[in-house]
Structure 1
Amino acid sequence: MNSLKLKFLGLGVFFSVILNAQINVLWDAQYTSSSLNQDIASIVKLDGSGNVFVSGTSFQTGSNSYDIVTVKYDNNGFQIGSPAIFNGSGNGIDEVRDLAIDNMGNVYITGLTTATGGNVNYITIKYNNSLTQQWAVQHNGPLAGSYDEAYAIAVDNTGFVYVTGGSDFVAAGSDYYTIKYDASNGNMVWGVQHNGVSNNIDAATAIALDANGNVFVTGRSFQTGQDLNYRTVMYNNSGVQQWATSYNGPVNSFDSPTKVKVDGSGNVYITGFSYGGQLLDNDYATIKYNNSGVQQWAERYNGPLSEEDNAYDLTIDNNGNVYVTGRSKGIGNGQNITTIKYGSNGGAPKWLNTYNGPGNGFDEGRNIMLGNSGALYVNGTSAIFGTNNDYTTLKYDTSNGNIVWEARYNGPANDADQAYSMDLDANENIYVTGGSKFPGNGFDFNTIKWCQFETSAGQDTAICVGDSIQLNAVGGISYSWSPSLGLSCTTCPNPWAKPLVTTTYVITSTNNSGCTDSDTITITVNSLPINSIVANGPTTFCQGGSVSLTGPNNMNWLWLPTNETTQSIVVSTSGTYTLIVTNINNCSASAQQTVTVNPLPNVDAGLDTNVCYNSNVQLNATGASNYIWTPALGLSCTNCPNPLAGPLSSTKYFVTGTDNNNCSKTDSVYVTVKVTPTSSFLKTSDTLCLDINPNLGLLNTSLNSTSRIWYFGDGNSSTSLNANHTYSSTGTFVITLVAINATCSDTAIDSVLVKNCLSSIGENSLFSDLTVYPNPSHGFISVQFTAKDNNPILIEIADITGRIVFAQHVTPTHSGIRTDLDLSNFNRGMYFIILSTKEGKKAEKIIIE
């Protein structure tokens, strides 16, 4: 929203809007008597219906004198009926000083009239609301040829009228004279004289009533040695004086009050001007009394040049703050409108505002009023180059004294325009009257209605390209938007706006009083940000991988669905990722990137397995399309799924399988290389006698075996370490020992002959006469046998596990040999005694007890 500063040259109206309002002259109304006669309006008042009454002094050709003229206008500025003209009996000067309207709309005027014989008397007139005179009464003081002039009038709510002024009394000079009239007929109820303390010049100039009907008058009163003082008197409603008090300025000189007001608590406030001495000249002098006439405070204002400073009007708010206006000489310029706010306790001003008009000349505040909104209005006259004086109305912010707006009216003759009176209605429309120079007419009554009206288009705002925003104008009842481009409507208060470029829209609206105001709103159209997502690698990859996605610089970032707000994110799962970027103008744009994460193949290298040394085992990988095996050592191939593996030592093989998406996974299989056992055994005999002892002892002498299986050739088998088998039939039986180490095995084969020996003729075998005795023994045994030759013979003793626990070589010296052995340190159990030559071995089982 932008402030306006416009000048309507055709209307002769200038207003400067300091904040956000527009002031129009809704109407101006002229009254002229005839030709170049002087007609000056001095008072404007509104009745309860909004009718406007203006009264002043006008030169009437018929009476060839100045008469009191009162004009009625309706609230639209149309004159109602003929003016009421009062010409005194002396056909001389008749002047209005004040005007009041009662709650029935009756109009009361007071001032002075020239009576027959040339005396000047008080004149008080009552008109009904149609300006038909109801009565007119004069007051003529007791002194012959006296000069009696009424200055102020007030009406109460009970049908009485109060008038005060100055009246000449015998030997006393002029005195205050205050009269109470019966409003119904103009009869005097009482009249009271107040003669100042020095029996000299006394004249009341202002009057006020409180809520109890008490009457307060103030004026100037001469006191010997002090010159003219403020003199304030309180009467009760019966005209009995309650108190009287004076204010004398600092140099015992001329002090003249201009206005009296009473607040709701009965406190009395006076303002005017008081001479401060030759160096100071006149100063504002403002005084507060309580209801008993005791002065509460008195504050003076001396302008910056210590020259002429005159206060003319005051008003009071509900908090007891006091506002005073008038004129004060400024530095480097003429008189300025100077307005002051005092707190309820007086003291230094809360604020002081000096208005120097554009002409840098004579500016004077004459009237001050508070509106219902709490705003403060000052009316007066201000000089400007080229147009002489103008009506000037100022609106103030009461919190700080800043001028909200100023409004000036320059009459049609572009000449002197002097405003004297102001009134407000409930809506704070402002009515001003005074004298204005009209071409060919001289000065005429000129009454204007300032129409105070604000239209707001709202605060300037910004949107993004492609967006729309709803405007919302407030104030007025009819609207017109321009330009129309981008608007959904141009005559509604709240159109939707969708401009393509930055646009300033102007709203002009009119209220129900016909006031028009304009405001602007600028909609800045900001461009959208350029958004793109940059990946630092492929966006299709295998499980376990990731990709970094990065948005543009100098933005605010929002990634969905992760809700991350950083410029870059790392993605490791499949999905569509949306990046919303917002620039410094709060405009947003989105971009998307699809990421595909392929699962890894379910590669299986198979179960760990064993292989015998110098043997192969087939590996079998599954779950992929292509395979690579490592290490290559011992494999029949490295890029097939099922190579033969023949490592020389235990090895963990890794297979990496790759699927059609080029995703890989690695598994492993551990191939344990088992040592191939060496199977061997000894038997106790090559031949068994079935009919004597068919029992064969077998000693396992295998190496590197963890298990074994004995096959005895007769259908029987055993898994014991060493075997002892009894045959039940004759024949040659093949004995097989399978030595086992995991999956590796070795086989030893031998045979035994089983026969019936008792029927045989004997046999000639190695050590056929071997004898071991005693058997069982306690450790001392004798071994006896016959040697075939002189070759060395090895005698060994093995325990039941086949472990050799004793060995001794014997060299035969004769064919029959006996050897005694001490085995007493052996543990009890079964042992085998083994005789070995290069031709063979012979074993015999022995028992040590």
Structure 2
Amino acid sequence: MNRFGPLFIILLVPVLALAQLDTVWLRTVDGGPGAEDIFSDLFVDDSGYIYITGTTGTTSLTTDIFVGKYRADGTVVWTTTYNGRANQDDSAAAVVVDSMGNVFVCGWTIDTLMDLDMVTLKFSPSGQLLWKKTWFRTINRDDAAHALVLDRLGRVIVTGYSMDTEYNTDYCTICYNARTGDTVWVRYYNRTPDNDEDISYSICVDDSNNIYVTGTSYDDGTDYDIATIRYSPNGTRTWLRRKNNWPWVGDDYGMKVVFDRTSRSIVVGGIVWDDNQDYNYFTMKYRAPTGESLWARAYNRYPANNEDLLTAIKVDTSGNVFVTGTSFDDVTDYDIATVSYTPAGIPRWTQRYDAEGFEDAGADIVVDSIGSVFVLGTGESRSNRMDLTILKYNNNGDPLWTWHWDNQLSHNEDWGYRIALCRPDRIIAAGTTYFDSTNVDLLVMKLYEVQHDFAATALFVPESLFITDTLFPIAVIQNCAVNTDTGYAYLKIEPGAYLDSTYLILLPGAGDTVNFASFLADTAGNYIITCWAKLARDERRFNDTLRAVLTVWQETTAIKEAQAALQRLELTLTPNPLRANGVVSFNIPLQNNLTLKLFDRTGSLVREWKLNPGNGTTRFPLQFRDIPAGVYFLRPDRLGICPTKKVVIQY
């Protein structure tokens, strides 16, 4: 005779209960059904306002530049779009905001001759368009802006490319008066006598208002090289440095340039071609006043010797350099690879992150005031495809936590592109998300690190036992926050006086399996077992408690036991996951009226259904329409009749 029933295990949703990040708010931007809305850039000002820009689709199947401003609490201050004079496609590349709250956006717009023009826009703090400037050469060809920056002289400087009469592109850097939009100066860079493709991608200024741009520039002998230029505030070119990954001739690109105030130097991040016929991360440091090369480092995943593509670079207050991107591995495919160097260029650490052996990519990186490193990107999984992903490391490169966000309505492609930090200890992440009904939408969210949270994540008890058997309850308690904490785990069995507790010390992210004191029932019947975690300053109460129902049988003949077991009511819900409708089925006809209640993960009642038995019915249709997607728990109004059923609603 089998004296124990199957284990009855309750688990909370891991993505919600175990995450050390939680969402303060989330906003999406949809240009209309079927339109693709593409994110470009993010800016957070000193007052906590959040600005995003990108491209939004229109009903006429063109695209416009989108700009949005949000308060710290996520409420929309204003949104606006810009449609160029030709009513064709317009696209944003970057956004910056001055100390007065004026917003500057650059990108490109299609003109009446169907060519691209460089465009720069200025909006007031209230979202009013103050001025717009387009730029093209005398002979109208393609011109586009990739980046912009503000200096301390009240100017906005834009960089990108401009096409000449021979359809070759040159670096194009334009300085505007930020107040009026008047052009102060324009500078082109062309590698002569090659007269081929030169494209600027990134720009920064130093504390003396000198301007630095980097990109890629073609040379007949070395192919594409990283070309970095320094301009004085009046537009005079003070130095030019070209970098080819000699002796290998291939395509080298400067993707990012940043100014290091600690050492008054310029750090350039990009990608270079090597002898294995693949790309490597490339990081190089120049002395800002002179352009003297201080050091250069490449990162290649060996022995894969495949693509390693740098996308972002950051320098902390100590001068340490951090780069991230995507890097191929023979076993794990593309991974998020993050590398740190000392101010002298000595490698400090390298960390690689692989979600599930598919394509993962780092897109942006920030460092907080204590040196913690946050990497934003995308992780690919079997179930959810692409998830927005955030990784946190301490300054020594030790992983602290990983967080994924999946759009539960589609389980499709969610991409993270930009990350920023704002007070108090909040994270802004932005990118794109896919909805089945609206296609690709812009996405921005505010997150916070959970400081204190213990969760009861699993409870192990049998469904039933005999009155002569002893119960040994087991639970798992996990620290789902970023601080080491001390707390308690409790277990209570009712009816009766059973109550046991255990003192716990848990590191961030750590869990402990708790073996509670044994229990021997006095009488047959149903017992409610409740396990909960108790922690001072716990920030998320919804994951503290788990419950189970234990049925205790009298010791009688095997036949009577089997008959009694057959009379236990079992509940089945199909389909599960479900969308708007479901059918609940019971293994035996109901003998009395029964109310089913649906609770969300916080324990709040969402909906209830009153079931009336009749004609031996065992199946009852249930309406779930208008209930938001998520995880819920369905149970009868009288505990012990049948187990609680987890319900997943998807749209």
Give the structure-1-normalised TM-score.
Answer: 0.53
| Mapped partners of 2:17, 2:214: distance in 1 | 36
The counterpart of 2:281, out of the listed 279, 284, 304, is: 284
| Cα distance, 1:504 vs structure 2 | 7.5
Task: Call closer, same or farther: CA 1:518–1:387 in 2, change over 3 Å.
Answer: closer
Task: Call closer, same or farther: CA 1:445–1:474 in 2, change over 3 Å.
Answer: closer
Q: Secondary structure at the match of 1:362?
A: coil
Indicate yes or no: 2:349 matched with 1:354.
no
Question: What is the one-letter code of the residue matched to 2:22?
Answer: N
Partners of 1:65 and 1:92 within 8 A in 2:
yes
| Cα distance, 1:317 vs structure 2 | 1.4
Residues 306-336 of structure 1 show CA distances to partners (whole Å, capped at 9, x for unaligned) of 0011001111112221111001001312100
| Cα distance, 1:385 vs structure 2 | 0.7
| Mapped partners of 1:24, 1:402: distance in 2 | 21
Q: Secondary structure at the match of 2:113?
A: helix
Question: What is the one-letter code of the residue matched to 2:147?
Answer: A
| Cα distance, 1:507 vs structure 2 | 2.3
Alignment of 1:174-213 (within 5 A): 174-197=169-192, 198-213=194-209
Partners of 1:177 and 1:192 within 8 A in 2:
yes
Indicate yes or no: 2:504 matched with 1:507.
no
| Mapped partners of 2:422, 2:106: distance in 1 | 23
Partner of 1:705: none
Residues 773-811 of structure 1 show CA distances to partners (whole Å, capped at 9, x for unaligned) of xxxxxxxxxxxxxxxxxxxxxxxxxxxxxxxxxxxxxxx
Partners of 1:14 and 1:407 within 8 A in 2:
no
Question: What is the one-letter code of the residue matched to 1:434?
Answer: G
Indicate yes or no: 2:128 matched with 1:129.
no
Partner of 1:311: 310
| Cα distance, 1:218 vs structure 2 | 0.4
| Mapped partners of 1:508, 1:221: distance in 2 | 59
Partner of 2:574: none
Partner of 1:40: 38
Determine which structure has greater relative contact order: mean sequence separation of CA pairs < 8 Å that are 6+ residues apart, divided by chain length. Answer: 2
| Cα distance, 1:49 vs structure 2 | 1.7
Partner of 2:148: 153
Q: Secondary structure at the match of 1:345?
A: coil
| Cα distance, 1:228 vs structure 2 | 0.7
| Mapped partners of 2:16, 2:218: distance in 1 | 44
Residues 605-634 of structure 1 show CA distances to partners (whole Å, capped at 9, x for unaligned) of xxxxxxxxxxxxxxxxxxxxxxxxxxxxxx
Indicate yes or no: 2:87 matched with 1:59.
no
Indicate yes or no: 2:443 matched with 1:415.
no
| Cα distance, 1:447 vs structure 2 | 1.3
Question: What is the one-letter code of the residue matched to 1:232?
Answer: T
| Mapped partners of 1:289, 1:14: distance in 2 | 45
Computing the radius of gyration from Cα coordinates, the structure with the larger value is 1
Indicate yes or no: 2:134 matched with 1:106.
no
| Cα distance, 1:481 vs structure 2 | 8.5
Task: Call closer, same or farther: CA 1:206–1:475 in 2, change over 3 Å.
Answer: closer
Alignment of 1:26-425 (within 5 A): 26-61=24-59, 63-81=60-78, 83-142=79-138, 144-171=139-166, 173-197=168-192, 198-250=194-246, 251-264=248-261, 265-277=263-275, 279-291=276-288, 292-304=290-302, 305-347=304-346, 349-358=347-356, 360-399=357-396, 401-411=397-407, 412-425=409-422
| Mapped partners of 2:227, 2:167: distance in 1 | 16
Partner of 2:426: 429
Q: How many residues align?
A: 472
Partner of 2:21: 23
| Cα distance, 1:211 vs structure 2 | 0.6
| Cα distance, 1:483 vs structure 2 | 5.0
| Mapped partners of 1:482, 1:128: distance in 2 | 55
Question: What is the one-letter code of the residue matched to 1:152?
Answer: A
| Cα distance, 1:26 vs structure 2 | 1.7
Indicate yes or no: 2:468 matched with 1:440.
no
Residues 652-671 of structure 1 show CA distances to partners (whole Å, capped at 9, x for unaligned) of xxxxxxxxxxxxxxxxxxxx
| Mapped partners of 2:491, 2:189: distance in 1 | 71
Task: Call closer, same or farther: CA 1:333–1:255 in 2, change over 3 Å.
Answer: same
| Mapped partners of 1:86, 1:153: distance in 2 | 18
Task: Call closer, same or farther: CA 1:402–1:182 in 2, change over 3 Å.
Answer: same
Structure 2 unaligned spans of 5+: 1-10, 455-479, 493-498, 501-515, 518-530, 546-651
| Mapped partners of 2:267, 2:362: distance in 1 | 18
Partner of 2:600: none
Alignment of 1:704-723 (within 5 A): none
| Cα distance, 1:455 vs structure 2 | 1.1
Q: Secondary structure at the match of 1:252?
A: coil
Q: Secondary structure at the match of 1:346?
A: coil
| Cα distance, 1:505 vs structure 2 | 3.8
Question: What is the one-letter code of the residue matched to 1:344?
Answer: P
Q: Secondary structure at the match of 1:315?
A: strand
Give the structure-2-normalised TM-score.
Answer: 0.68
Task: Call closer, same or farther: CA 1:190–1:105 in 2, change over 3 Å.
Answer: same
Residues 388-424 of structure 1 show CA distances to partners (whole Å, capped at 9, x for unaligned) of 101001111111x121111111012111111211111
| Cα distance, 1:343 vs structure 2 | 1.2
Identity over the aligned pairs, expressed in percent? 27
Partners of 1:42 and 1:433 within 8 A in 2:
no
Task: Call closer, same or farther: CA 1:247–1:455 in 2, change over 3 Å.
Answer: same
| Mapped partners of 2:252, 2:544: distance in 1 | 48
Task: Call closer, same or farther: CA 1:133–1:361 in 2, change over 3 Å.
Answer: same
| Mapped partners of 1:45, 1:302: distance in 2 | 32
Residues 216-261 of structure 1 show CA distances to partners (whole Å, capped at 9, x for unaligned) of 0001001111111000000111111110001101312100111100
| Mapped partners of 1:382, 1:475: distance in 2 | 22
Q: Secondary structure at the match of 1:392?
A: strand
Question: What is the one-letter code of the residue matched to 2:207?
Answer: A
Residues 456-506 of structure 1 show CA distances to partners (whole Å, capped at 9, x for unaligned) of 78xxxxxxxxxxxxxxx9999xx998759999xxxxxxxxxxxxx889743
Q: Secondary structure at the match of 1:382?
A: strand
